[in-house]
Structure 1
Amino acid sequence: MNQQQGTIVHHLEELRRRIIISGSAFIVFFCVAFIFVKDIYNWLVRDVQGKLTLLAPSDVIWVYFMLAGVAAIAFSMPVIAWQAWLFVKPALRPNEYKATMSFIPALAVLFLVGVSFGYFIIYPMVYSFLETLAGDFETMYTAEKYFSFMINMTVPFGFLFEMPVIVMFLTQIGVLNPARLAKARKLAYFGLAVTAVTITPPDIMSDILVIIPLFLLYEISVSLSKFVYRKKLKEQ
C-alpha cells in the first residue's frame, strides 16, 4: 500500500470514528427524549382543541419516535459539530482551528433559533391560513399528519439558520470567499425563494414573510464572509 492509499484509508477510518461517535450521541439523546416524550407531546398539543386521532395502534409509536428523533437531533447538534470540526482539524493551520472553535457553539444556538423561528412564527401563520381555508369542512387531524406538518414547518429553518456560521467556517478554511458568494447571489436567491414558496401556503404574504428572512440570512453570510476573509488576509 503506497502513502496516498494509506492516507485515504486513515481519513476513512477517522471519518468512520466521527460518525460512530455522532451516532452514539444521537442514540443517547434519543433514549433520554423518549423517556420524556409524553411531556413533549403534551406541550406541543397544548393549543389543540380536542384530541388528535390515531388510525392504527402503531401510529402512537411512530409519533413518539418522530418527536424523540427531532429532540435528539437538536441536542446532538453540538456533538455533531464538534466531531466534524475534529475531522477537518488536521488540515487546518493553528490560527485557523483556534478561530473556528467558536463556530461550534454558534451552530447549536442558531439551530435552536431557526427551529424557534419556524415554530413560533412560520408554523402558526401557516396553520392559521390553512384553518381558514378549511372553515367549511369538518376537520379531524391524525397525530402523524399533524406532527409531520409541524416538523416540516420548523426543522428546515434550524438548518437554514446555520448558513452564516457554515459560510464563515468555509471562508476560514479557504473553500469560499466573498467574491464567490457575490457571484452566486442570483442563484442563491432563486434557491431560497423556491424553498420559501415550497414550505409556505400559496399566498404572497406568507411567501414574503419567509423569503425576506432567508435573503437577510444570505446577506449576513456574505458580510461575515467578508469580515473573516479580510481578517485572514491581515494575518497572512
Structure 2
Amino acid sequence: MSVGATFGGVTELLRGRPRHPVGADGRMALSDHFRELRARLIRSALVWIVLFIVALCFYNDLLKVVAHPFYVANEKLGNDVDTELVFTGVTKALMVQFKLCGVVSLIAASPYWLLQIWGFLMPALHAHERKWSRIFGAIAGPLFLIGVGVGYWVLPKGIQVLVGFTPLDAKSLIEFGDFFDFELRMLLVFGIAFEIPLFVVMLNLAGIVSGERLGKSRPWIVIGTMVFAAVATPSTDPFSMLMLAIPMLILFGVAEVIARFVDRTRGRRKHSTEQWDDDELSPL
C-alpha cells in the first residue's frame, strides 16, 4: 500500500464523509452516522492528546495553582496546626501528574469536543430547538465557570476549618492525590450548583414548572438550597455554605422572574389564539 493511499485513508477517517449520497429528505444511512461519530470522537481525542502533552510541559505551574488553596489555608492556620502536603508511595507522584494534566487538558479541550457534540446533534434539531440550545449553551458555560471560580475562592476557608480539627500534638500529613480529588469534587459541586436555576428555566419553557408554582414554593426552595449547600460543602463553617447558597438563591430569583415573564407571554399568546372557537364565525 502506498503512502498516498494510507494518508488518504487517514484523512477520510478523520473527515467521516458519508459514503452513501444524502437523500432528498436530508437523511443519511445509519452507517454514515456512525462513521461521522467515529470521526468526531477521533478528532476530539487527538486534540485532547495534544493538549495533554502541552499540560505536561507546564506541570509545575499547574501544581502550584492546585496547591495554592492549601498554602493559603496553611498561612491562616499559622502555628496552630502542623500540616504538610505529601506524596505517598513510589508511583503516586507520577499518577498525580498524569491525572492532573489529563483533567486540565480535558477542560481546555472542552470547547472543541462540545462543538463536535453540537455538530453531530444539530441536524436532528428543529430551528427553534437550535435557537434555544445556542442560548442555553452560551449561558451554561459562563455560569459553570463562575461557580468553579467561587468554589476556588471559598476552598481555602473550608480547608482551614477541616484541618483545624487536627489535635495539637499531631501532625497533619495530607496526601496530594486525595487533596486533588477533594478539590476537584468541591469545584464540580459549585459549578453544577450554579447550573440548577438554568435547568429550572428549561423546565418552565417545557411547560413542566410555572412561575406561579415557583413563587408558592419559594420558602421550600430557600430551605432546600440551604440544606443542599450544607451537605455539598464538606466544611462545617457557615461561610462556605453561604457562599454557595446565596448565589444559588439569587439565580433562583432570576429564574422565577424569567419563568413568570415566559408564562405571561405564553398566556397572552394563548388568549389571542383561543378567543374564537373552532366553529365560531369571526366578525369579519
What is the TM-score normalised by the length of structure 1?
0.71
Contact 1:18–1:83 (Cα < 8 Å) also in 2: yes
Distance 2:55 2:207 in 1: 36
Amino acid of the structure 1 residue aligned with 2:156: P
Distance 1:118 1:128, change over 3 A: same
- Please state if 1:89 is matched with 2:111: no
User: How far is 1:120 from its partner?
Assistant: 0.8
Q: Residue in 1 aligned with 2:254?
A: 220
Distance 2:121 2:210 in 1: 22
Q: Residue in 1 aligned with 2:166?
A: 134
SS in 2 for 1:141: strand
Identical counterparts, % of pairs: 26
Residue ranges of structure 2 left out of the alignment (5+ in a row): 1-26, 75-82, 271-284
Distance 1:209 1:95, change over 3 A: closer
Moved more, 32-41 or 207-216: 207-216
Distance 1:109 1:200, change over 3 A: same
Distance 1:132 1:224, change over 3 A: same
- Please state if 1:194 is matched with 2:216: no
User: How far is 1:131 from its partner?
Assistant: 2.9
SS in 1 for 2:85: coil
Post-superposition Cα deviations, 1:36-88, rounded to whole Å, max 9, x if no partner, equal 22211023334636963111121112212232233234323333443443344
- Please state if 1:43 is matched with 2:62: no
Amino acid of the structure 1 residue aligned with 2:180: F
Contact 2:84–2:172 (Cα < 8 Å) also in 1: no
Contact 1:164–1:221 (Cα < 8 Å) also in 2: yes
SS in 1 for 2:173: coil
- Please state if 1:159 is matched with 2:192: yes
User: How far is 1:170 from its partner?
Assistant: 6.2
Moved more, 181-190 or 106-115: 181-190
Q: Residue in 1 aligned with 2:52?
A: 30
Structure with the greater alpha carbon radius of gyration: 2
Distance 1:195 1:27, change over 3 A: farther
SS in 1 for 2:142: helix
User: How far is 1:202 from its partner?
Assistant: 3.1
What is the TM-score normalised by the length of structure 2?
0.61
Distance 2:44 2:267 in 1: 34
Amino acid of the structure 2 residue aligned with 1:115: V
Amino acid of the structure 2 residue aligned with 1:145: D
Q: Residue in 2 aligned with 1:3?
A: none
More helix by share: 1
Amino acid of the structure 2 residue aligned with 1:35: C
Amino acid of the structure 2 residue aligned with 1:197: V
103, 106, 113: which one aligns with 2:136: 103
